[in-house]
Chain A
Amino acid sequence: MKETILLTKHMRENPEDSHLIESYEKSNGYTTAKKTLLGSSPEKVLEEIKASNIRGRGGAGFPTGVKWGFLAENEERYLVINADESEPGTFKDRILLERDPHQLIEGIIITCFAANIKNAFIYIRGEYAKPARRVQSAVEQAYQNGYLGKNIFGSEMDLDLVVHLGAGAYICGEETALLNSLEGRRGEPRLKPPYFPAVKGLYMKPTLVNNVETISSVPWIIENTGEEYNKLGVEGSTGTRIFSLSGHVNVPGNYEIEMGSTFGDFVETLGGGIRNNKKVKAYIPGGASAPWFRGDQLNIKMTIDDVANNNSMLGSGAVVMMDQDTNLVNAAKSIVSFFAHESCGQCTPCREGTTWLEMILDRVASGRGRTSDLELLLDICDNISPGLSWPPKMTTICPLGPSAVSPITSLMKDFREEVESMIPTKVLL
């Protein structure tokens, strides 16, 4: 298989200076935005986005055009770019921020034009210091060139863009937690209902929250039409997506591909296969929240729907390969302990449950497990996500708690023997 290069085109062709405005403009950057602002209409832009059938790249895969259409009427509306990328395994937004920030800014300008928004924010996780610097410089350049601020490109449109730095909290990737964080509060997810961002978002005003990759795709769609975009990939998963490949592969990295080929093909060709010619024991198809697939399931297609039909999710597009020698209990423990650490602490089942799961896994991993722990683990999971079905039912406000359940159910369903083998046999006294 080969990559299809849309979003990463400019950065690949200009490895020396793709992040600078001069370079971006040389590749016809900002011309789409200019044309749009001076000659198109918000309705037209929205139509193109709808026609493209692009679905959000932040994890939930919600159709972007539909989301924009939900935005409630109001004097004040906001756009917030979700650049909090913290899902273990994911580093695709990082490359877009670091290497092509102007593409994102152009996407923001067009989006704000379409949605009649005058204030936008990019919320970047605090640990992304270098990407944040690049974006901040790009924003300053864009202001200098009159692409942000008052009367952009000489049009009627005004737009202010603020780069806001997070401070170490995965949960702020959840859109309502992000809004709380941006308001200077604890990054706790809000209740939905009633706080749907499109109606009551930032400062309780209608707000669009979109992922970096989603908005970075906007200039291409508008330039080349939604119809063209819709031709790429497969139905339900149109366009290209940047997948972050990591784990025990020979060539890890970000790959921009059309959705539709198999994970096996992806790993073998672009990923260069598994290191030392080992076999895949298990792999994560869409970030740490996603249930795992076994090594014999590499023929599943990389589309949102195919993965969902196999009881997992394409999520943030992070593929993590674990070879035959991986200690899966340790792997699961790492993921559960991530969610325990990142739980905001509002919901009892998430706050207490994830930590309890972590403690038990820690015991099992260090050879102090009990036979009863296996059922206990599953029952605790069941109390966080009743029925242990997919998509998960929740006893919680947001999906973080149930995410911690994924690795354990995966482990118990497909690798139970491996767990059992770590429980010491009882010594009779």
Chain B
Amino acid sequence: MSDNVKINVNGLQIESEPNKLLIEACEDSGIHIPRFCWHKRLDPVGMCRMCLVEVETPRGKMLVPSCTTEVSDEMVVDTESEIVKKAQEGVLEFLLINHPLDCPICDKAGECPLQDQTMAYGPGESRFVEEKRHFEKPIPISEIILLDRERCILCARCTRFSDEISGDPLIEFIQRGNKTEVNTFPNEPFKSYFSGNTVQICPVGALTSTSYRFKARPWDLKSTRSTCNGCSMGCSIELNSSQNKMLRILGVDNEHTNQGWLCDRGRYNFEYLNSDQRIKAPLKKTEGNREETTLQDVYSDLSKIIEDRSNKITFLLGSNLTNEEFTSFNEFSNKLGNNDNSIYLNEDILFKGFFDENIENAKIEDLNKSDAIIIWAEDLKETLPVLYLRVRQAVKNGVKLVVFGHTNSTLADISDVYFGGETVSNNFEIVKDISKLKEIKEHIKDKNVTAILGKASPNQSDQSLEKLFSYLKDNSNLKLLNAFNGGNSFGAFQTLGSVKGNREFSSEISKETTDLLFVVGADPVGKSIFSSNIKNIIDEIPTVVALDLFIHETSELADYIVPTSSTLGEKEGTFTNIEFRTSRIDKLIPSPGQALSDWEFISGLSNFCKFEGMSESLKDLNNKSFDSFALDTKPTFDNLDKPRNLDGIINTSVPNINTTDESIEFSDSFYVGKKLYGDKVTERHSKSISLLGSSQFIEGSESTFEKYKLNSGKCILVQENIEITVSYKINPSLPDSLIFFPKNRRNMNKLDFSKNIQILPSHSMEVLNVN
């Protein structure tokens, strides 16, 4: 680049983009300046003073913090002078005088910048003979985070993260001067979906997670880079294990996707891997009893059924498979002569999406580059949390935000325009003429717009979204992200010949059409809003095979259960995110017992059936998954493992989502959606997450609940012979009469939303409980 500036650092000439911070410019050229408070993704505060360097000015050499000083042309910098060294030693000594000497029991030891820099720059001996500052040793500030104020060096990373990035400033500096501490408000825990990031960026062991506490030493850790499959954001992660146990997940700074951040579900929903409830051997049901069997036995039974079948063989696949596994099922299904028509994705609300050669698929980084962002989708904070952070970031950088109706209430708070109940009906229809909405026009007319569109609720019709889409398309320079959020759903779109969802499954499949059903990594009986339908289907179908990690409401109905490996650290493959960026899934730990990857199972079964022309290896499947792409941009393992491709490779394609738009009729006043923490079997077996997702509730506006005469904070949901006690939360942004049901919370799937649900006040039962 021609407009780069040249600066002189320690006698060396280096180049940098203008306006870069000195510390970053030096870092880019391999000159490391020590620091504590500075973090690339946070606004600089220049508080710790560790990064001081000398810069020549008209008034002579000056000590300046390199983390707050921008480079300018011909700047002359010394990062190693005597004065600089003395200042750094001084800062270190100051930080250490009140820092406890508890490294031997500190989680951060071994990867602690304070410890490292003390070795590198620190004074040998303490000159501080006074008493150190004391605080009560670690105090829990949420169900999963502990705070040890004695260790805190007041770098403001956690407070800045919470305020600037996640937008829930629940942790702050208290007191001033030498008494300053970081803390939460009494009785107001650090309840943030993103709290784990503060643990990761805390430069000392002041913030620790209960999940990792005392579990390991960094020097014992094995690690690898992978991709989170918790939602379709595709955050880059580092997996850490010790003695073959997964112990920790860290966010990796991938500029294009998560920029280092993770949501707490992505970070802590791995504890299930170590659960002793994992299935370890194949199980077979004979006369109602489940017994251990061998894989060979399963193959042999299934091959007979496959041979003798008179009907179809159907697949219901979870979204957490790798691209290679989807390809393997696709191949297998084709081999069975199914013509692409018998694979279903375990997603309730698949809509057709807006994929077509004429509409440009947005990249996540486009959010930051557009003039405006338009959102109408399920709550991003709950379903694509790190995308939510990226939207926030864009807004902070001045991008305008327009939010449509009811679901994205937190983003509505920071939006420039919000279209609530007057524009969007309780059934998620736009009730006004969009072209007459002045407020939106000024932000989009001939501007660069990135839209995030998806079904806000299952009862929203495709047409209502299409109306908005075509308006945006006609009036702006539009790029679009289709807000499907289930794990590797974009991988499925890309690799499966055709995709349908649970709605189609429950109306198309029966014992008349299907002899054999594979349910793979999916628990629709436990989780789908079509749960009761699907249960009936599974009960009827002659043979059902479940490939899964756990026994749950669906797998327990199966005739065969085959234990499989988790996509989190137990297998290799690739993952494709919401912007069609494909990145690596890597293996770090062995699978329990006889668990095997789904593709290995299919490969074994194919071999047993003597099918020919099937992919033999993972590498074959990987190549086959991306058949149609040009060679150099094919996300093959070889390509992805090249250093320049570690952040993934984008390749868009037009998927064939073969769904119908039969609208699901909900009772007018309900809508359902996911909350970040749910009741999936993996979540139930991850302690940290199960703590966070244990409450059951519904949401509505104050006036809505007044109509039901609720007043005790709890209510009872009644439908036929089902009774569920839940609490009700006031969500002021919901329009009158609209009630939200979190469908992934325990028991909620028992309710049939197409039928009436009574909401009754709960009378306190405690009084009767004399015992």
In the complex, besides A355-B178, A360-B130, A386-B63, 18 extra interface pairs with C-beta distance below 8 angstroms are A169-B176, A186-B176, A191-B44, A341-B177, A345-B154, A345-B179, A346-B45, A347-B47, A351-B94, A351-B177, A352-B94, A352-B98, A353-B90, A356-B97, A356-B130, A384-B90, A393-B62, A395-B90
Say yes or no: A347-B178 contact (C-beta < 8 A), given A383-B94, A386-B87: no
Q: Which of A186, A352, A383 contacts B178 (CB 8 A)?
A: A352
A387 to B63, CA, bound (A): 12
CA gap between A376 and B90 in the complex, in Å: 12
A353 and B91 alpha carbons, distance in the complex (Å): 9
Chain A residue nearest to B179 in the complex (CB): A345
**Contact assessment for B178 and A340 in the assembled complex, using a CB-CB cutoff below 8 Å:** yes
The chain B residues found within 8 Å of chain A, CB to CB, are 44-50, 52, 62-63, 68-70, 83, 86-87, 89-91, 93-95, 97-98, 127-128, 130, 153-154, 173, 175-180
Instruction: Tell me whether A374 is interfacial, beta carbon within 8 Å.
Output: no
Give the residue of B46, B90, B98, B177 whose beta carbon is less than 8 angstroms from that of A345.
B177
Instruction: Please report which residues of chain A, range 160-194, place their CB below 8 angstroms from some CB of chain B when the two chains form the complex.
Output: 169, 186, 191, 193
Residue of A nearest to B84 (CB): A386
> How far is B52's CA from A382's CA once the two chains are assembled, in angstroms?
15
Q: Is the CB of A352 within 8 A of B95?
A: yes
Residue pair A349, B90 in contact (C-beta under 8 Å)? yes
Known contacts A383-B86, A393-B63: does B180 contact A351 (CB below 8 Å)? yes
Contact status of A344 and B94, CB under 8 A, knowing A191-B68, A359-B130, A386-B87: no
Asked whether B177 lies within 8 Å of A348 as measured between CB atoms, the reply is no
> How many angstroms between the C-alpha atoms of A396 and B153 in the bound complex?
16
Contact A396 to B49, CB < 8 A, known contacts A343-B176, A376-B127: yes
Name which residue of chain A comes closest to B86, CB basis: A386
| Contact present for A348 and B87 (CB under 8 Å) | no
**Can you list the 6 inter-chain pairs with the closest CB atoms, starting with the nearest?**
A383-B90, A352-B94, A345-B180, A343-B177, A355-B178, A345-B177
Interface centre among B86, B98, B130, B177 (most CB of A within 10 A): B177
Tell me the complex Cα distance, A395–B93, Å. 14
Q: A394 an interface residue at 8 Å Cβ cutoff? A: yes
Expressed in whole angstroms, the Cα–Cα distance for A283 and B459 within the complex equals: 81
Compute how far the CA of A376 lies from the CA of B50 in the bound complex, rounded to whole angstroms: 21
Asked if A382 meets B176 with Cβ closer than 8 Å, knowing A395-B49, A396-B49, the reply is no
The docked-state distance in angstroms from the alpha carbon of A359 to that of B130 is 7
Q: Please, could you name 25 A-B residue pairs with CB atoms under 8 Å apart, sorted by A?
A: A186-B173, A191-B46, A343-B178, A345-B177, A345-B178, A345-B179, A345-B180, A346-B47, A347-B47, A348-B153, A348-B154, A349-B90, A351-B94, A351-B177, A352-B94, A352-B98, A353-B90, A356-B130, A382-B86, A383-B89, A384-B90, A386-B83, A393-B63, A395-B63, A395-B87
A389 to chain B, nearest CB (A): 11
Question: Do B63 and A351 touch across chains, with their CB atoms under 8 A apart?
Answer: no
Which chain A residue lies CB-closest to B96? A352
CA gap between A397 and B179 in the complex, in Å? 19
**Complex: A268 Cα to B696 Cα, angstroms:** 80
Write out the residue numbers on chain B whose beta carbons fall within 8 Å of the beta carbon of A393: 62-63
Let me know if A265 is at the binding interface, CB within 8 A. Answer: no
A386 — nearest CB in chain B belongs to which residue? B83
Residues of A within 8 A of B83 (CB): 386-387
Give the Cβ gap from B71 to chain A, nearest Cβ, in Å. 13
Q: Which residues of B contact A348 (CB under 8 A)?
A: 47-50, 91, 94-95, 153-154
A307-336 interface bits toward B, Cβ cutoff 8 Å, 1 = contact, 0 = none: 000000000000000000000000000000
With contacts A394-B63, A397-B46 known, is A344 near B176, CB below 8 A?
Answer: yes
Closest to B180 in A: A345
Across the interface, B91 reaches (CB within 8 A) one of A349, A359, A376, namely A349
B49 touches A347 (CB 8 A): yes
Interface on A for B, CB 8 Å cutoff?
169, 186, 191, 193, 340-349, 351-356, 359-360, 376, 380, 382-384, 386-387, 393-397
Residue pair A345, B176 in contact (C-beta under 8 Å)? yes
User: Chain B: which residue is nearest A375 at the CB level?
Assistant: B127
CB closest chain-B residue, reference A360: B130
- Measured between beta carbons, the chain A residues less than 8 angstroms from B130 are 356, 359-360
Closest to B178 in A: A355
With both beta carbons as reference points, the residue of chain B lying nearest to A400 in the complex is identified as B177
A356: B residues at CB distance < 8 A: 94, 97, 128, 130
A352 touches B49 (CB 8 A): no
- Closest Cβ–Cβ distance, residue B149 to chain A (whole Å): 13
Q: Roughly how many angstroms separate A396 CA and B44 CA in the complex, as a whole number?
A: 15
How close is A349's CB to chain B, nearest CB, in angstroms?
6
Given A186-B173, A343-B176, A349:B46 Cβ within 8 A = no
Nearest-CB residue, chain A, relative to B91: A348
Which residues of B have CB within 8 Å of A383? 86-87, 89-91, 93-94
Residue ID in chain B nearest A355 by CB atoms: B178
| Residue on A nearest B174 in the bound complex, by CB | A186
- Note all chain B residues with C-beta closer than 8 A to A359: 130
Chain B minimum-CB-distance residue to A393: B63
Complex interface: chain A residues within 8 A of B95 (CB): 348, 352
Task: List residues of chain A with CB within 8 A of the CB of B62.
Answer: 393
A142 to chain B, nearest CB (A): 35
Q: How far, in angstroms, from A387 to B68 measured CA to CA in the complex?
A: 23
| Closest chain A CB from B180 CB (angstroms) | 4
**Chain A: CB-nearest residue to B70:** A193
The CA of A380 and the CA of B130, in the complex, are separated in Å by 14
- Residues of B within 8 Å of A387, CB to CB, are 83
Closest Cβ of chain B to A76, distance in Å, is 18
Shortest C-beta distance, A191 to chain B (Å), equals 5
**Judging by beta carbons under 8 Å apart, are B177 and A395 in contact?**
no
With a 10 A CB-CB cut-off, give which of A186, A355, A360 has the most chain B CB atoms.
Answer: A355
Docked Cα-Cα span, A346 to B83, in Å, equals 21
CB distance from B89 to the nearest CB of A (A): 8
Least CB distance, B160 to chain A, in whole angstroms: 13
Cα A355 to Cα B175 in complex, Å, equals: 15
A383 to B180, CA, bound (A): 21
- Please measure, in the bound complex, the distance between the C-alpha atom of A380 and the C-alpha atom of B127, giving whole angstroms: 10
B631 to chain A, nearest CB (A): 48
Given known A186-B176, A346-B45, A386-B87, contact A395–B97 (CB-CB < 8 A): no
Q: Is the CB of A351 within 8 A of B154?
A: yes
By CB atoms of chain B within 10 A, which of A347, A349, A380, A395 has the most?
A395
Which residues of A are found within 8 Å of B179, using beta-carbon distances? 345
Residues from chain B with Cβ under 8 Å of A355 in the complex: 177-178
Of all chain B residues, the one with the shortest Cβ separation from A358 is: B178
Q: Which residues from B are CB-within-8-Å of A346?
A: 45, 47
A395 and B52 in contact (CB under 8 A), knowing A349-B91, A359-B130, A386-B83?
yes
Q: Which chain A residues border B154 with CB–CB below 8 Å?
A: 345, 348, 351
Write out the residue numbers on chain B whose beta carbons fall within 8 Å of the beta carbon of A360.
Answer: 130
* A residues less than 8 Å from B94 (CB atoms): 348-349, 351-353, 356, 383
CA distance A128 to B46 in the complex (A): 33
Chain A residues with CB under 8 Å of B44's CB are 191
Which of A344, A382, A396, A397 touches B177 (beta carbons < 8 Å)? A344
Determine the chain A residues whose CB is within 8 A of the CB of B87 once the complex forms.
Answer: 383, 386, 395
**Most-contacted residue by chain A among B63, B68, B93, B176 (CB, 10 A):** B176
Q: Which of B45, B91, B176 contacts A395 (CB 8 A)?
A: B91
Q: Do residues A351 and B178 form an inter-chain contact, with CB atoms below 8 A?
A: yes
* Complexed CA–CA distance, A349 and B51 (Å): 13
Most-contacted residue by chain A among B44, B95, B127 (CB, 10 A):
B127
Smallest beta-carbon distance A346→chain B, Å:
5
- Inter-chain CA distance A375–B349, complex, in Å, is 73
How long is the Cα–Cα vector from A347 to B83 in the complex, in angstroms? 18
- Decide: A352 near B97, CB < 8 A? Known: A345-B178, A387-B83, A395-B91: yes
CA distance A191 to B178 in the complex (A): 20
With both chains docked as a complex, state the minimum distance between the C-beta of B462 and any C-beta of chain A, in angstroms: 44
Q: How many Å lie between the Cα of A352 and that of B98 in the bound state?
A: 8
Interchain nearest-CB distance for A215 vs B (Å): 29
When distances are taken between beta carbons in the complex, the residues of chain B under 8 Å from A169 are: 176
Chain B residues lying within 8 Å of A191, measured Cβ to Cβ, are 44-46, 68
Which residue from chain A places its CB closest to the CB of B181 in the assembled complex? A345
